[in-house]
Amino acid sequence: MRVGVLGAGAVGAGVARHLQAVDAVQQIVVRDIRPSVETQVVADLAPDVVADGKRLGPLDVDVLVLATPVGFHVRQATKALERGISVVSVSDSLGDVQGLLRLRGLAEETGSVLVIGAGFSPGLTGVIAGHAAGRLARVDEVHIAKMGTGGPACARQHHRALKNHSLDWRDGVWTRRPGGSGRELVWFPSPVDAHDCYRAELPDTVLAVPCFPSAQRVTARVSATRRDRLTMHLPMLRRPHPEGLVGAVRVEVRGELASGGFGSIIMGSVAAPAVGAAATAATAVEWVTNKRVRPGGWGLGQLRDLAGFLHATEQRGVATELFEGLAEMAADPAPQIIDLRVPTTQSIQEHDERDDADLAGTAKKNQSR
Amino acid sequence: MVSGFHESAHTRSWDFRSAMIRSQADTVPVGPLSDTGAMGMIRRVVAALGLGAAVAAALRLKGSGGVPPQTGGWRNLSGPDQK
C-alpha cells in the first residue's frame, strides 16, 4: 500500500519514520508546503519515503495522513474521501474535528475509513479512556488532561484553544465554559508530575462522549502557565519553539466498579507530544492498512482491541501508565470505612489510655535528656 | 533668613531651592476646591476599580494550589496488565 503524509513537520516526519517498519506499507509519499522541510525528510528517510514534487493536486495513495496545521483538515479529507482514499487526521482543533465528524457518512458511502483525532490528545487519550472504562461496569465521568505542545503549529493551537470556550458534557447537555477557567492541579506521570490545567477549546470531549453513553460528565483540560493565561487573549508574543519538550496526558474514568461500589481508574502517558502523536497516528495507519477498522468515521476510542492498540504504541516508544493506590483502593471490595458515629464511652476510654501512654513516653524521653 | 538655608557649601543651593518651592506653595490655594465635585468622584471610582481589578487579576493568576496524591504511584502498564 502507498501512504501519503501531508505535512512534514514534527508529527508528519515522525509518522513517516514509524511507517517504514510497517509491512503492509510499501511506499510513503511526503508532501509539505515548505520545499526545504520536505527535501530534508526525504533525504533522512529514503528510499522508503519519497516526495512527489508537487505542491497541489491529489496524491495517488491508499491512505492519507493529515499532519498539516489545523484549519485545512476538513477540505483535504473531503477531497480524499471522495476519491475513496482512507484518511487519518491528527488535528486537535475542535472546528476540524466537528467538521470531520460530519464526513462520516461520506466515508461510509465510499467504503473508506476516516480516523478522527489520531494524535496524542485527542487520540491516545481516547484509547486510554476506552481501555480504562473496560475495568468499570458503568462509566459516569471521564476527565482528560494534557500537558505540553508538539511543533510550532501545535503551540499556536494551544494558544488559540486557551482563549476560546471549552465544550464540556454535563448531565447530558453540552456546556460552554470560558477557556483559562476551572483550574485543577493534575498529577501526570513522572517526570512531568503536577501541573495546573484549565478549560480550553479541546475536541477530546466531542470524541469521547459517543464512546460512553452512560457518562454524565466528560471534561478536557490543558496545562497552562501564568504567562499563557495572562497573554491568551493577545497574539503570540514569542515565536513558538521548533519542537516541545516532554509532555503528558492523563485520563481519569470514574464509575461503578465491576466488584460493586464506585471508584476511579487513572491512566496516563509521558512523551514529547509530537512523538506521542506520531506513534498514535502511525498505529492508526497500521490498523487501517491491516483492515482492522470498518469503513466509516471513527475516533480512536471507538476502535476494537484497544489493549492491542496501546501495546502497538508502546512498541513505538509511547508507554501507558496506571496510577496505583487510588485505583487499588477503589477496586477493594471492602473499602475502609471511616466511622463518623458518635464515639462510645469505651472508645473514649481507649482514646484517653492511648493519650496517657503517649504522654508518659514523652515525659520519659524528656527526663533522659 | 529663608527657611532651609544653611551655610554649608555642599547643601546651600539645594536647601535654597526647596525653601523657594515651599514659599511658592504657600501662595497656591488649597482645600475644598482640589478634590470635590464630579472629577474627584470619578478619580476615586477609577482608582477603586483599578485597585479591585489588580487584586482580582493577582488572585486569579496566583491561584490556591492543590493537594498532591498522598498515596500510590505510577506503574508502567505492559504485557498481561494491558488486558
Quickly state the pLDDT bin for B71 (edges 50, 70, 90).
confident
> How many angstroms separate the CA atoms of A142 and A265, rounded?
10
For chain A, the structural domain boundaries read 2-116, 124-273+320-331
Q: What are phi and psi of A308, to 5 degrees?
A: -65, -35
Quickly state the pLDDT bin for A50 (edges 50, 70, 90).
confident
> Given a cut of 70, is residue A345 above it in pLDDT?
no
Tens of pLDDT, residues B35-66: 568 888 899 999 999 999 998 888 777 766 66
pLDDT of residue B17: 60
Cell (9 digits) for A54: 508537487
Where do we find the cell 475502609? Answer: A336
- Inter-chain touch A326–B83, beta carbons under 8 Å: no
Give A64→chain B minimum CA distance, Å.
Answer: 29
Quickly state the pLDDT bin for B67 (edges 50, 70, 90).
low
> Given a cut of 90, is residue A57 above it in pLDDT?
no
pLDDT of residue A342: 37
> Given a cut of 90, is residue B28 above it in pLDDT?
no
Closest partner residue to B73 (CB to CB) among A184, A310, A325 is A325
Given a contact cutoff of 8 angstroms between Cβ atoms, the answer to whether A79 and A66 are in contact is no
Instruction: Please choose, from the candidates A220, A207, A218, A217, the residue with its C-alpha nearest in 3D space to the C-alpha of residue A164.
Output: A220
> Given a cut of 80, is residue A280 above it in pLDDT?
yes
- Cis previous bond, B68, omega within 30: no
Average pLDDT over residues A219-240: 85
Give chain A positions within 8 Å (CB) of B61: 226, 229-230
Q: What top-level class would CATH report for the domain A124-273+320-331?
A: alpha beta
Closest partner residue to A319 (CB to CB) among B68, B76, B83 is B76
> Given a cut of 70, is residue B81 above it in pLDDT?
no
- Inter-chain touch A310–B77, beta carbons under 8 Å: yes
Between A342 and B52, the more confident residue is B52
Quickly state the pLDDT bin for A240 (edges 50, 70, 90).
confident
> Given a cut of 90, is residue A4 above it in pLDDT?
yes
pLDDT of residue B38: 84
Quickly state the pLDDT bin for A330 (edges 50, 70, 90).
very low
Query: From the candidates A322, A323, A328, A336, which should be mutated to test the interface with B, based on the most B CB atoms within 10 A?
Result: A322
Closest partner residue to A268 (CB to CB) among B71, B74, B82 is B74
**Residues paired with residue A220 on neighbouring β-strands, in sequence order:** A144
> Given a cut of 60, is residue A319 above it in pLDDT?
yes
The two beta strands, A2-6 and A63-66, are parallel
> Given a cut of 80, is residue A138 above it in pLDDT?
yes
pLDDT of residue B19: 58
> Given a cut of 60, is residue A10 above it in pLDDT?
yes
Residue range A2-116 in CATH 3.40.50.720: yes
**Three-state SS string across A38-76, please?**
HHHHHHHHCCCEEECCCCCCCCCCCEEEECCCCCCHHHH
- CB-based contacts of A93, cutoff 8 Å, min separation 6: A70, A71, A73, A157, A160, A161, A203
> Given a cut of 60, is residue A198 above it in pLDDT?
yes
> Percentage of chain A surpassing pLDDT 90?
57
Q: Which of residues 51-80 of B touch A (CB under 8 A)?
A: 61, 63, 65-69, 71-78
**Residues paired with residue A114 on neighbouring β-strands, in sequence order:** A87, A297
Give B63→chain A minimum CA distance, Å.
Answer: 8
